[in-house]
Structure 1
Amino acid sequence: MKGKLFLIPTTLGDTEIDQVIPNQILQLIPDIKHFIVENIRTTRRYLKKVNQDINIDDLTFYELNKRTSPKDISTYLDAITDNDMGIISEAGCPGVADPGADVVKIAHTKNIEVVPLVGPSSLLLSLMASGFNGQNFAFNGYLPIPSDERSKKIKHLDHRSLSEGQTQMFIETPFRNMKMLEDLLQNCSPATKLCIAADITLESEYIKTMSIQAWKNNLPELHKRPAIFLIHRDK
């Protein structure tokens, strides 16, 4: 019987596992011996936190990153002929803003059953907490790095939010968060609402929504903190 491909969530940081990962997933993980992962070292640590009795040396890991070719990914799935397999992202849910999506795409072409498992998604949690439109939203990933291109993109997203009522979401490398915030304050309309969601599910969690104008006098410290930025502008 062909195995299944399980999309296994992990924590978004140093949160206690039993606070964000359902017990049924914690019971499932020890039965899986083949894992496609973004980072082998962090996955090993995660699995040991899940269950100290897991023998890491008995497991097979296939590393997946932006340099992994589609050909290699396809061979990773060969093991599923006789075994269940799991995909584990570096943080949160695999397949969402994550290279695991490439594995899932190939799995469908091979008629492999894909099983998504419940866990923390920083994108959905930030959208839930923003107070913005949750029926029409777009995740834009990383915005351009060059200042002129970024400014143009921010203005475009701000206008799109106004014209379509669409919540615009994006992320930044944590050490560039403050520059992102500066660019948002300079390029969005003062009336645009900005939600900043940082360190989601951690003890240091910070989620706040205010107008661009209000943010100018209340800048949070976001340096090296995983954060998601959301903007929405009412008509």
Structure 2
Amino acid sequence: MQRQSSYSQDTGKLYLVPTPIGNLEDITIRAKKVLTNADYIAAEDTRTSGILLEKIGVHNRMISFHKYNSKERAPELIKLMQDGAVIAEISDAGMPVISDPGYILVQECIKHDIPVVPLPGPSAFATALIASGFDAQPFTYYGFLPRKASEQKPFFEQMNQARATSIFYEAPHRLVKTLKTMAQILPAERQIVAARELTKIHEEFIRGSVAELNDYFAQNAPRGEFVILVSPNTEAPKQLSWPELITLVDQLVAAGNSKKDAIKQVAKEHHVSKNELYDQYHQE
């Protein structure tokens, strides 16, 4: 067990600082103060972040920290904090750690008993969710889906059965293909929302069925980064817990089925990952 007090230590620490997802006025007073006082700012893209920091009057030293150098750079940042430095980690926009490599640095800080201080702030998927008109509790956030249609299909199969609102990000140049893949699995009347340019001048929410949004974007080229929200399937049966699913597997095994076939059958009938069910079963 580990307990952390974020403010009791005079040694180095890591601040996770959200940055505006569009409108720069969304920067908080506290975020600006932390960025101003930090010894270093670990930025996902120093060029993008440099524009923001210049506009809010922050000129601290930036260190590049992105998914391609995170494993090599993390030990360097840990050493700086062990020597007393305060580091603020920011992503290109929105919350650090979500869809960026910040979690690697957080894990290393926890491992080395370095305080991690999270600041609240803007997040694209949460911003889109509260204006979507869909039930916000529960919801499932997927981040960016795989690019290949064959790899996306299992995600859409989960969304098709989900009793929660499903959310993912998509780039404009891939949106049309992704919606076509979605239309192969979800019913044509299933409601979705495509949110773009959140908090910016051209902010827009496009609401309609899967079929309607497919037609719309086939005729109107997507522009801007998108948050896609899929309405819950209110008719889907309640998802069983892992222990309940494992009990069903045991019942099929007791009836003479092999464990492999039993797991496959239960996974298919209850729309869960066969591999995940296999892992859960063999943990028992």
Under a length normalisation based on structure 1, what TM-score does the superposition of the two structures give?
0.84
State the Cα deviation string for residues 107-141 of structure 1 (Å, max 9, x = none).
11122221212221001111112222322222222
User: 8 Å contact 2:70–2:104 — kept in the other structure?
Assistant: no
What does residue 12 of structure 1 align with?
21
C-alpha distance in 2 between matches for 1:195 and 1:212: 9
Matches within 5 A, 1:139-154: 139-154=141-156
Following superposition, the deviation at residue 218 of structure 1 comes to: 4.1
What does residue 229 of structure 1 align with?
228
Pair member with larger Rg: 2
Residue 130 of structure 2 corresponds to residue 128 of structure 1: yes
Matches within 5 A, 1:1-235: 1-13=10-22, 15=23, 17-18=24-25, 20-51=26-57, 54=58, 56=59, 59-80=60-81, 81-159=83-161, 161=162, 165-216=163-214, 218-219=216-217, 221=220, 223-232=222-231, 233-235=233-235
Per the alignment, in what secondary structure is the counterpart of residue 99 of structure 2? Answer: coil
Q: Which stretch of the first structure deviates more once superposed, 22-31 or 86-95?
A: 22-31
State the Cα deviation string for residues 129-154 of structure 1 (Å, max 9, x = none).
22223222222223232333334532
C-alpha distance in 1 between matches for 2:230 and 2:181: 13
C-alpha distance in 1 between matches for 2:220 and 2:85: 46
Q: Against the structure 1 CA distance between its residues 112 and 221, is the aligned structure 2 distance closer, same or farther, given a 3 Å change threshold? A: farther
Q: Against the structure 1 CA distance between its residues 49 and 181, is the aligned structure 2 distance closer, same or farther, given a 3 Å change threshold? A: same
Letter paired with 2:174: R
Per the alignment, in what secondary structure is the counterpart of residue 142 of structure 2? Answer: strand
Q: Against the structure 1 CA distance between its residues 47 and 187, is the aligned structure 2 distance closer, same or farther, given a 3 Å change threshold? A: same
C-alpha distance in 2 between matches for 1:42 and 1:69: 18
| Higher RCO (CA 8 Å, separation ≥ 6 residues) | 1
Following superposition, the deviation at residue 25 of structure 1 comes to: 2.1
User: 8 Å contact 1:73–1:103 — kept in the other structure?
Assistant: yes
User: 8 Å contact 1:194–1:210 — kept in the other structure?
Assistant: yes
Q: Which stretch of the first structure deviates more once superposed, 147-156 or 29-38?
A: 147-156
What does residue 258 of structure 2 align with?
none
C-alpha distance in 2 between matches for 1:216 and 1:40: 36
C-alpha distance in 1 between matches for 2:223 and 2:208: 22
C-alpha distance in 2 between matches for 1:64 and 1:73: 8
Following superposition, the deviation at residue 213 of structure 1 comes to: 4.2
C-alpha distance in 1 between matches for 2:18 and 2:144: 22
Following superposition, the deviation at residue 210 of structure 1 comes to: 2.5
Letter paired with 1:5: L
User: 8 Å contact 1:140–1:169 — kept in the other structure?
Assistant: yes
User: 8 Å contact 1:192–1:234 — kept in the other structure?
Assistant: no
Q: Which runs of 5+ in 2 are unaligned?
A: 1-9, 236-284
Letter paired with 2:76: T
Q: Which stretch of the first structure deviates more once superposed, 21-30 or 97-106?
A: 21-30
Letter paired with 2:108: I
